[in-house]
Structure 1
Amino acid sequence: MNPFVDNDLESDETPQLIQIKTLHNNDPHLSLISKKIFKSNNNRIVMLTGAGISCNAGIPDFRSATGLYNAVRKQYPHLLIKSGQDLFDISLFRDEDSIAAFASFMEKLYSCTCKARPTETHKFIALLRDKQKLLRCYTQNIDGLESLLNLQSSTDSEFDLNVIKGFRKIWNNLDIIKLHGDLNSLCCTKCYTSTKWTNSNITQFKNGELPNCSKCERANNDRINRGKRSLGKCGVLRPNIVLYGENHPSGEVIAKGLHIDVTSTYPDIFIIMGTSLKVDGVKKLVKQMSKRVHDRNGIVILVNKTDLPLSTWKGVIDYHIKTNCDQWVEFLKKQEPTFFNSSTISESHPKLLGVVKRELKQTQIPQSPPATPAKERSPTLCIPSKHKNSLPLTPTSDYEGSCKKSYYSPKRVRKSSPLKKKHDSKYHLSPSYNKRGTSLTTGVAIRTRSATALLEKLQKEATDAVQ
């Protein structure tokens, strides 16, 4: 029994790779695929894309008579370039002629990439992100067309990814994982500094030259000016892509993130588009993700024109749709027009929602904080004017010099008397505090009454003496 299809398509055969050569509305397998993708609101989709999704973007292929491969081969006929793959091989750096061919080819490819626009397949990936169905999209492409649709890619955060704390959070915020780098930036072969293309760099690449790294040159000149030995030959700038035959500079980071996706996430559908699955690392990725999807009774779909060896992919891929990627997306649009036509901000990606909410919150923040309300002053001791000059000074104590001063309280100034006149005849006592911060108002009142009683006693004795 096949656990990867619905009951109406089940059979007693073992799981096999079902090939679909034409797109028909009444095809039961295509209907099942559409049902799996669109009908369930909880489906999480993982994607893997290759050069096939960019064929309609305006980037020439490597095999046609007018393709980039033949253009470079005509420009450098003495070089042994047998296929387009040879133009992405690290062995091109073996001599000056092959380096010139590599630089010229990269300039042509970059110029075509700058003019390219996202295809219907790229827009389909962005729509899945907006509908919160896209878990991750791994791509073998280096054109960077996904960034034109605001899809967050790994090359934007590669240095942030190489951390111990918070790696999972950073990884989960990525939409696109670029397995082979990004043509839209350059990196130094020595110090690995990343930089953008400039008009000067484009001219040098077009002439078959790799520009020197300005950072390496500055560091070398600084050492010479300080009287130190030169660092030797400076590094050169090359596109920030991974070539055949070299180690992946971010291989450990991608492997760590892939382990999270395989072990900690719950994908239901794995869609592979525009790749013939010939790279060893990609083969391993497909088999690992396929096992994870099948553990959840999900399906694995391949959309590509080229044939596959059935013995290799039987039990790994469930459906092989042998058609153009954009044609399949157009077919899905006709089957589920509501899904493609409705896209609101409430349905968008959580990361985009967070940006919108943060912007709205910032617009509501007042330009300046409100003024601090004035602090109410404590009542002070007030006596009638007729008794003001008849009382002795309030005795002082050692505790006054050691009182704790509050940051918000005004500076204490010793006066001749803490007594103040007020409009009424009531007595108000100024609060005092001891070393522990407790009120000493009661103590002040006792001392004031004692002084008053002593004065009255002295006046009475003086009167008696006169009599």
Structure 2
Amino acid sequence: MALNLDLKKNNPLLSKVVQQLDLIKNNLLLSKVVRHVALSKNLIFIAGAGISCSGGIPDFKSSNGLFEMINQKYPGSFHSVRDLFDANLHISDNAVKAFYNFMGELNKLVLETEPIATHLFIKKLADMKKLKRVYTQNIDNLEEKAGLEVWNFEKLKRYESQVVQLHGTLANLQCQLCTNVYSFTQKSCDIFIKGEIPNCPKCERRVVLYGDEHPNELEIGEIAKYDKKKADCLLIMGTSLRIPEVKHLIKEFAKAVHKRKSYVIMVNDTNVVNKEWSRIIDYQIVATCDDWVNLVDNELSNNKPQISKKRKRTKNDNQGRNEIVYQEKKIKVPSLNNKSSIKNKIK
């Protein structure tokens, strides 16, 4: 993708056109955007399936993906991936079996998958106190595997969480009758793959489908309202920008970020931005999420170690005044290149 440099004094906020950048070309504008992300202190991420694809979890819509496999096994049950995730269409026995089979096969992959570069990068930003929040559409729970704190809507205080799961998680099963929560284990996967339901008669997935009302919609809205007060950069990664609720969330955060003269950046391996996103998304990076985060990580690693100053009150000096001194403390920045050390930290 060629780089369009018609930036009206290099300020995307004055342009009606989303600027597209190519990672292959090492240009000054790309470096400026990368450095802007690296210097941000309250980053907001909105993540989609694209951040997990390189880890082995396939796109649902690909020709060799899980949906095609389920479609061949249960022909005619669903016409599209959206139909599969539409609660209103789970009316026939065949459709219900197909859905449970799909969820079992998907969770089998999830259990075998480890966090990849993008998940580890987000964890690194959290460790550096640069992450405000991750709003993820993914149900693979890889953010928690990477060591991030996921808001479970019950125990963790909402503003202390680092990850908000917009569509639920495959980590647990919940009985809709007795409300007990169980781990979605390999044994449960085997039962689901058969198109059957585990022993608890009403035991179902903790995944929000099309047609479902999110049980914590109001709480998520409160968290987003809280985050908008400090958000200084919005990164949208690996999503097709099609789900209405997610689009609304992006637009609300974009308003807050632009008020601070900051950037909204879209990262996806294909061009998904249309005219609807003019004046909302400033830059579109057409690249894999892993390639992009490696670029930003290099910028972080090339910077000098951060210095935090501690204010300490000492004993009275000779004139009886309180002398205030600052103690400098170096903060080590981990590198994504040392994957073994990072994995050890998150086990």
TM-score by length of 2: 0.81
Query: Aligned partners of 1:64, 1:110: CA distance in 2, in Å?
Result: 18
Pairwise mapping of residues 307-322 of structure 1 onto structure 2 (< 5 A)?
Answer: 307-322=271-286
| Structure with the greater alpha carbon radius of gyration | 1
- 2:191 is matched with which residue? 204
- Work out which of the residue numbers 175, 183, 190 in structure 1 matches 2:162: 175
Q: CA deviation at 1:29?
A: 2.2
Worse-matched range after superposition: 43-52 or 322-331: 322-331
Q: Which amino acid aligns with 1:177?
A: V
- Work out which of the residue numbers 116, 125, 130 in structure 2 matches 1:128: 125
- 1:274 is matched with which residue? 238
Contact 2:254 2:280 in 1 (8 A): yes
- 1:151 is matched with which residue? 148
Higher strand share: 2
Query: Aligned partners of 1:332, 1:198: CA distance in 2, in Å?
Result: 36
Q: CA deviation at 1:32?
A: 1.3
- 1:110 is matched with which residue? 107
Query: Aligned partners of 2:171, 2:112: CA distance in 1, in Å?
Result: 12
User: C-alpha deviations, 1:221-243, integer Å up to 9, x for none?
Assistant: xxxxxxxxxxxxxx511211101
Residue 140 of structure 1 pairs with residue 106 of structure 2 = no
Q: Relative to structure 1, is the Cα distance of residues 340 and 302 closer, same or farther in structure 2, using a 3 angstrom cutoff? A: farther
Q: Which amino acid aligns with 1:50?
A: G
- 1:406 is matched with which residue? none
3-state SS of paired residue (1:270): strand
Query: Aligned partners of 2:330, 2:180: CA distance in 1, in Å?
Result: 38
Contact 1:242 1:248 in 2 (8 A): yes
Q: CA deviation at 1:212?
A: 4.2
Structure 2 unaligned residues grouped into runs of 5+: 1-6, 308-328, 334-347
Q: Which amino acid aligns with 2:84?
A: L
Higher helix share: 1
3-state SS of paired residue (1:9): coil
- 2:268 is matched with which residue? 304
Contact 1:104 1:208 in 2 (8 A): yes
TM-score by length of 1: 0.61
Contact 1:303 1:322 in 2 (8 A): yes
Structure 1 unaligned residues grouped into runs of 5+: 1-5, 162-169, 214-234, 349-467
- Work out which of the residue numbers 237, 256, 261 in structure 1 matches 2:227: 261
Query: Aligned partners of 2:86, 2:290: CA distance in 1, in Å?
Result: 29
Pairwise mapping of residues 262-411 of structure 1 onto structure 2 (< 5 A)?
Answer: 262=228, 265-338=229-302, 346=331
Contact 1:58 1:117 in 2 (8 A): no
- 1:101 is matched with which residue? 98
CA RMSD of aligned residues (A): 2.8
Q: Which amino acid aligns with 1:303?
A: V
Query: Aligned partners of 1:105, 1:338: CA distance in 2, in Å?
Result: 44
Query: Aligned partners of 1:197, 1:283: CA distance in 2, in Å?
Result: 30
Q: Relative to structure 1, is the Cα distance of residues 12 and 50 closer, same or farther in structure 2, using a 3 angstrom cutoff? A: closer
Residue 89 of structure 1 pairs with residue 55 of structure 2 = no
Contact 2:23 2:287 in 1 (8 A): yes
Q: Relative to structure 1, is the Cα distance of residues 62 and 308 closer, same or farther in structure 2, using a 3 angstrom cutoff? A: closer
Q: CA deviation at 1:306?
A: 3.2
- Number of residue pairs matched? 307
Query: Aligned partners of 2:194, 2:83: CA distance in 1, in Å?
Result: 20
Q: Which amino acid aligns with 2:295?
A: F
Higher relative contact order (CA 8 A, sep 6+): 2
